[in-house]
Every structure is written in structure tokens, then in C-alpha cells.
Amino acid sequence: MEKTFAIIKPDAVADNHIGGILAMAEAAGFKIRAAQMKHLTRKEAEGFYAVHAERPFFGELVEFMSEGPCVLLALEREDAVAKWRDVMGATNPANAAEGTVRKTYAKSVGRNCAHGSDSKENAAIELAYFFPGTALL
């Protein structure tokens, strides 16, 4: 069974959408293998998004991801990485399909309420970054 790493971002936590997003994950067949509420430091957010360090929105992204608590998740199902990207919808909620997490809850391309790993390799790296020692449960 494949695992992916997901985050319910600070906007969705502040707007009381933890339950709604977890319900969408469960309805899509995911098992929640690990879950932790955590207020990321700027350093943790910078480290996590290091691949975007040169992008013009990096400062805004780090600020957003450390503005309040988020929920870190290890999600498991068949084809978990691709399936969670489908369930989340496009990065910009304006382009996200009806019924996706981002279409339902996100307000803008920056404040887009959820993260999902973009490859199996990155899922393994991201799970190890936030759930050291538990990624293989």
C-alpha cells in the first residue's frame, strides 16, 4: 500500500475545515496513518518548501505556512500520491474541479488549504521530514 504526505494548511485549520477535509480523505478511501497538529516555525516552513526558494511567492508562502497551526498527515491507499493530488484539485482553486478539496475550501492560489506530495520519492522525503521514525508504520 502506498503512502503520501498531506497538510491541512493554516487557512483551513483557522476556518474549521479540518473535519471536512479529513472526511473527504476518508471518503476517497484513504487510511489516516499519522496525524499531528503543529504550528510550523518559519525555519520548518522554509525547509519544507526549499525547492521553491527561488520562486517569487516563497516569502509569502513561508509566512502563510507559519501563521498558525496546520495538520500534518500520513495518508495511505492504493496509488496514494496521485489519488490525493486528484482529491485536492489544482493548485489554483479557480482551476480546481468541482468536489475537490481546493474547490470546496480554498480562497486563492496561495491560501489553498491543502498540500500533497507530488511524487513517491517526495512523499518518502516529506514523511521522513515530519514523521521521523513513523513513516513506515
72: part of which helix (H) or strand (E)?
A: strand 70-77
Among residues 109, 124, 125, 128, which is the contact residue for ligand ADP, using CB under 6 A? 109
Q: Considering only 27-35, 38-46, 52-60, 93-101, which stretch makes contact with ligand ADP by CB under 6 A?
A: 52-60
Specify the residue, 33 or 115, whose C-beta has the smaller distance to Mg ion.
115
What is the CA angle 59-49-97, rounded to 5? 95
Active site residue 39: no
> Where does residue 137 rank: exposed (0-12), middle (13-18), buried (19+ CB within 10 A)?
exposed
Catalytic residue list:
115
Binding site for ligand ADP (CB under 6 A): 52, 57, 60-61, 91, 109-110, 112, 115, 118
